[in-house]
Amino acid sequence: MEPMFTPALHRQRHQFVIDFVKRKKPKKVLDLGCCECVLLKQLKFHREIELLVGLDIDGVQVKKKMHGLAPISTDYLQPSYDQLRIELYQGSVTEKDARLRGFDLVTSIELIEHLTLADVELFSEVVFGYLTPEAVIVSTPNSDFNPFLPGLVGFRHIDHKFEWTRTEFKSWAMKVCLQYGYEVELTGVGQAPPGQQERVGFCSQIGVFHRLGGKERYNMFDEDAEDVFSYTLLYSIIYPSLHDNNILRRVLMCEVVYWADKLKRRWTAEETGERDDTDDLCQAEGEGGECFRASERHVDTEEAQTACGAEMKTLVDQEEEDGELFWRRGQPDSDKWRRCVSVPLAVLWCCCPKVSVLSGSVSNLRLLLMDEPGVKLSQDGSAMLLNHQEQDLDDDESDDDEHRADLEDSGYADARQCPPLAEPEEDWEANV
Ligand code: SAH
C-alpha cells in the first residue's frame, strides 16, 4: 500500500519543529513526552540551542536510545565554539519541576491525547502557568481527519484517551491563552486529499503558542514560583566546546605543532636542496600559502605585514635581528653539533588561519605557548624552537627530553613563563 503521507507524518511533525527552531533560534528547548529521543536527536544538530532537555514519564523508553545523544568523534576532534548541554528526565508533565522553567521553546508532540482530560488541565497549568516558556508547540490528532485513515476503528493509538476535533482543540487552546497570557496560531501537518483540506483540516493539528508580554512576564511569575524538583535526571552530557580553555589549548597545540613541523621541513628541504613532500599541501593553503612563501624568504617584512597585519612587524624585525632561521650550537663538553630551527610565532600565526582564529593575536599565542611544557620558545618569546632532524643526533638522544635539555643548554632556558590565559495494533502516530 502506498504510504499516505510523504514524508511520513511523524517526520512532518518533527520537521515542523525543526523549521520553527531554524527561524526563531531558541537557546533552551524542552521536548515533553520525548519517548526514544527521536526529535531531540535531530535538534542537537542545531547548535544555536545551548540547552536541550527531554522529559518522559516512561524512563525505560528514554533509556533505550538515549546514548545516541552523546557527542560523536568529530565533536571531540573538531570542537566548535557552540555550547550544548543535553539533559533527560523521567517525570510527568502533570507535575512541576523548577529546572524546566524559563525555556525559549517547549514542544509537546502527540502527547496530550495520552492524558486524561483532568491531566490535560494539569498539563496546561504546569506548562503555561508554571514553566512559562516563550513559545509552546502542541500537536495532537485531528479526529475530523480520521475517516480518511484506511482501516481505522476507534482512536489512532490504543493509549489515546481522546482525539479532538479542530473545534475542540481550538476551544482548549483559546482557554489556555486567556488563562495564562498566550496567543496561538492553529495549523498542522499532513495535507488532506485534494479538495478536502478546507473541510477536514490537517491529519495532525498543531497549536503554536507565544507568550504575551515577552521576557518580563517570566520574571514576574518567577517571584511566586515554587522551587519543586519532582523529576529524576536520567542522562546529562556537555558537548566539547572551544569555550572550555583546556579544549581550546589542546586544539591550538595540535595546529601549532603541525604547522611548526611543516615549516621546519620546508626550510630544511630548501637548505638541503631536497623536495619537501608537504609542498603541495602548502600551496593549497590559500592565504596561508602566501605567508608561507613569505617566511621562506626569511620573511619579507612588507609582504608579511600586508598579509598578517601590523602586529607582526615587531616580531618579524626581532627575528631578522636574530638573522638566521637555522642556527647551530656546539656543546662545550661534546664534539656533537646540534641544529635547531627557529619558527617565528608571527609566521605561524600568519600561515595557519586556525591558529590565528583560536589565539586571537600573536601575543596571545605566545602566552599560550609559554605555558606549554612541550614547547620551547626563543629567549625573547618571538619564535618556537624545534630541534632539527634526528639524523643529527645519536639514536639514543633523539627523544623529546633530550631535545628539551639541548635547548635548555643552549641558553634558551630562561624563556619567560606566563600564567595561563584567563579567560515509536496500527500505529497511526508513528507510521502515517
Ligand atoms: N513525542 C514523541 C512521542 C509521542 S508518544 C514523538 O513525537 O514521536 C507519547 C509519549 O508521551 C510517550 O513516550 C509517553 O511515555 C509519554 N507520556 C505519556 N504520559 C506522559 C506524562 N504524564 N508525562 C510525560 N510523558 C508522558
Q: What is the pLDDT of residue 265?
A: 85
Block residue for cell numbers 482512536: 155
Give residue 142 CA to ligand 1 midpoint distance, Å. 17
Q: What is the pLDDT of residue 285?
A: 45
Mutation test residue for ligand 1: of 114, 126, 127, 203, the one with most atoms within 8 Å of CB: 114
More confident residue, 189 or 311: 189
Mutation test residue for ligand 1: of 41, 60, 64, 111, the one with most atoms within 8 Å of CB: 111
Among protein residues, the one with the nearest Cα to ligand 1's atom 13 is 35
Among protein residues, the one with the nearest Cα to ligand 1's atom 10 is 33
Q: What is the pLDDT of residue 191?
A: 96
Give residue 3 CA to ligand 1 midpoint distance, Å. 24
Among protein residues, the one with the nearest Cα to ligand 1's atom 23 is 92
Among protein residues, the one with the nearest Cα to ligand 1's atom 16 is 33
Q: Which of 45, 41, 43 is nearest to 64 (CA)?
A: 41
Among protein residues, the one with the nearest Cα to ligand 1's atom 4 is 110
Separation CA 185–CA 137 (nearest Å): 10
Q: What is the pLDDT of residue 391?
A: 47
Q: What is the pLDDT of residue 137?
A: 99
Angle, CA of 298, 370 and 368, to the nearest 5°: 95
Q: Given a cut of 50, is residue 34 above it in pLDDT?
A: yes
Q: Given a cut of 90, is residue 101 above it in pLDDT?
A: yes
What pTM value is reported for the model? 0.77
Give residue 182 CA to ligand 1 midpoint distance, Å. 23
Q: Given a cut of 70, is residue 313 above it in pLDDT?
A: no
Pair 185, 139: CB distance under 8 Å: no
Helix 362-370 with 245-272: angle, nearest 10 deg: 100
Give strand pairing partners of 141. Answer: 204
Q: Given a cut of 80, is residue 298 above it in pLDDT?
A: no
**pLDDT tens digits, 172-194:** 999 999 999 999 999 999 999 99
Among protein residues, the one with the nearest Cα to ligand 1's atom 6 is 109
Q: What is the pLDDT of residue 413?
A: 31
More confident residue, 423 or 20: 20
Q: What is the pLDDT of residue 227?
A: 82
Mean pLDDT over all residues of the chain? 80
Q: What is the pLDDT of residue 276?
A: 58
Pair 349, 311: CB distance under 8 Å: no
By mean pLDDT, which of 5-9, 147-151, 352-356 is the weakest?
Answer: 352-356
Give residue 34 CA to ligand 1 midpoint distance, Å. 6
Ligand 1, pocket residues at CB < 6 Å: 10, 33, 35, 38-39, 55-58, 61, 92-94, 109-111, 114-115
Give residue 193 CA to ligand 1 midpoint distance, Å. 29
Spell 275-308 as b/e; 16+ CB within 10 A means b. Answer: ebeeeeebeebeebebbbbbbbebbeeeebbebb
Domains of the chain, CATH where assigned: 9-238 (3.40.50.150), 245-272+331-388 (1.10.10)
Q: Given a cut of 60, is residue 333 above it in pLDDT?
A: no
Q: Residue 335 — very low, low, confident or very high, per pLDDT cuts 50/70/90?
A: low
Q: What is the pLDDT of residue 112?
A: 98
Q: Which of 260, 265, 253 is nearest to 384 (CA)?
A: 260
